[in-house]
Structure 1
Amino acid sequence: MKNHWVHKLSGYVRIKISGPYPELFVNRCIDSDIQIWDIEHQGNQVLVCSVLLDEIPRLRKLARISDCKISFLDRKGLPFVMKRLWKRNGLLFGAAGALLLLYLLSNMVWEVEVEGATASLEHELRQTAAELGVKRGAFQFLLPAPEDLQSVLTDEIEDATWIGVTKRGTTYHFQIVQKEFAEREPEADAGNLVAVRKAVIHDIFVEEGKPLVEINQVVEKGDVLVSGLIGREGEEKEVAARGKVFGEIWYKAEVEVPLSRTLYTATGNKYRVHYLHAGDFNIPIWGWNSPEFENIKEESFKSSWSIFGFEIPVKYGYKDILETKEAEAEQAVDKAIDTAKEKGADAVLSKFSPEAVVKGEKVLHHLVENGKVKVIIHYRIVDEITVKQPIIKETKETETID
């Protein structure tokens, strides 16, 4: 019989048949459609076999008419297991109670975390969340979904722009983005915008005040560009001039660039050192005796391991130590001049504000001397040229004639 798992569900017994001609008894069982399997001889008048639990009453009737005696050796299957368990029902109920308690405890809220809020806003959020049922000791399966909580809390709390709700095991985590109210800037003192250097006006952006210059106009240092006096003559009102005026400035720079430069190229020789990384500590595990190269370049690799989404603090990595050699590379004069333009532009821009840009450059002269190229370049720089200056009122002296 191959369906042993079916027999284990319904239950079966191992019996011993003793008496004259036990084989005749087995044949009668087969003729009566009684399932018998695993038949073993244990003597001339003894047979051992397995039979279904449901067939025991019919088996007893056949035994009486066959002059055979049946004795039970073993009981197997689910009904007997359940019966044994029921005898230990205290243990069974205890295990079931422990599982139920574990399920309830793992579905309770044990912690409520709030991130990104002031003390008063956090207190308001905790109170509102508690009214919705989110508090320590509450059962999670009785609470609204995190998406519903997020929508309700965002509507209820006026000082929050957005509230995110995430459930992490037995912890509810609230992340708040507070509303930011722009602080009113203090009123600036009345004043003009004047030029800080000589330049040609390139662009004008005036927010407050009266512009006194035009594009392509040449201005000198100290000239008023945007006046803080607005209104009709004689009825002017003093305001704080605000805006930006960009001017074009010519700047001459002298740059030297060598015609040859030293490069480091890899020879192909390398050595690899293997590490285990634990926090800030590197523990070498292979490759202690690295060769002593005169010039080296290092390349590192570090891997990260994770189990079920949790990153393991110990990481594996290796470092390749490459041997390099020096090589002199010659460059043409034209290439050196292009390099000088870039180098000079960076140096010139460092002397101006972060808004400065190079609009063009012109090489005035270059000279090759002692393996270097000396280049004199004129740069066209566009930069903001204004500075705030208080309004100076002109006073007129009157003479009194007696």
Structure 2
Amino acid sequence: MSMKMQHNFFQGSMRIKVEGKMIEPFLQACVRRGCVISNIKRIKENEAVMTIRLSEWKTFRQLRKKYRCKISLLGGKGLPFFYRKITQRTALMAAFLLSLIVVFLLANTLWSIKVEGLTPELEANVEKKLQSYGVSPGKLTIGMDDPNDIQRKLLDDIPDLLWVGVNKKGTSYHLYGVEKTRHDTNKNLRPADLVAEKKGMIVKTFIKKGRPLVAVNDVVKKGQKLAAGKLVEDKDILVHTEGEVIAETWYKVDQNLPTTQVLQLTDGVEIKEYHLTVGSLTIPLWGWWKNEDSEYRHETKETNWEWLGWKSPVDLKTTRYYKIDLKKYEQSKDKIQKLGILTARESLSQYLGKEAEVMKEKVLHLREENGKVKLILLFKVHENIAVTKYISQGD
């Protein structure tokens, strides 16, 4: 490589295009300033390309306005351009690598620890032990013990723990523990599930011990398991499940109420009507012309004539009509309905117990029948449907 080529390589050279009507005077002025121009090629009458040194670019830019020429950069060679390209790519690669490192650190940092199923005192003890193992929020999970090892250490170091599950979910640890009971002979501490005593829709769950199997708004059948005493499906870790499952249930109540209050609302006007009955034939005799526009309550009495054991085929039927005040009659029926609802609600509350709550009622049917008011009601109740079902140790 000649000295001139080495010099151009280290200083850098540029291939440019010059456009304008005064190209020759413009180039002569640049040469007078000491510029070295090579590889000149005329493309058009007012357009030419050429090679200059990088250090002369400033001179060309200063003179172009005076001679009204336009300069365009076509490319560059030499060490300065090579260095600039390497620098740009290096910065890009460094930013990319830095972003990968940040994402890696964020994904491998422990952000939260959640402990459930334990008393506050025992929960604080577990968290203290976790810190001693190097497991705490803000630390990298790289180098931390495996969840199974953490589980084993907690069971060894905390005697009050019957069982603890350690699960790593993303950037958090979720622990569920069961505290040891001190009276193992107590019947109420035998392994047991919670099952549904009756059909209902779940409105609230509160499971102190055990593995919940249902959620709010689930519809369960009688005998369906609500919470399991088996904490892990494939392990024989059993506890006595405790808690409540409040469900919405419905009760149908029939009420038969006397209509004495209603029947006493007649205005005292009495009309008698007489009919003669001969077999199945009825012949009106008196009072059949009463006003049909009014409402009446009636009482009917029929004779039963007999003589020496012989029954007469002819009988006299007497019907007494009492006029009714419809306004008071309807008001009295409404009072009887309210009384029936109140009586049914109190009876149902006594049957269910204090813990159950009667939410509302609905009248399904109301009619008068044989001197009584028949009332059919439907009550919506919130009650605890969970009952204990002991687990057979041989299963």
Band of TM-score, shorter chain? 0.3 to 0.5
Please identify the structure whose Cα radius of gyration is greater.
Answer: 2
TM-score of the pair, normalised by structure 1: 0.33
TM-score of the pair, normalised by structure 2: 0.34
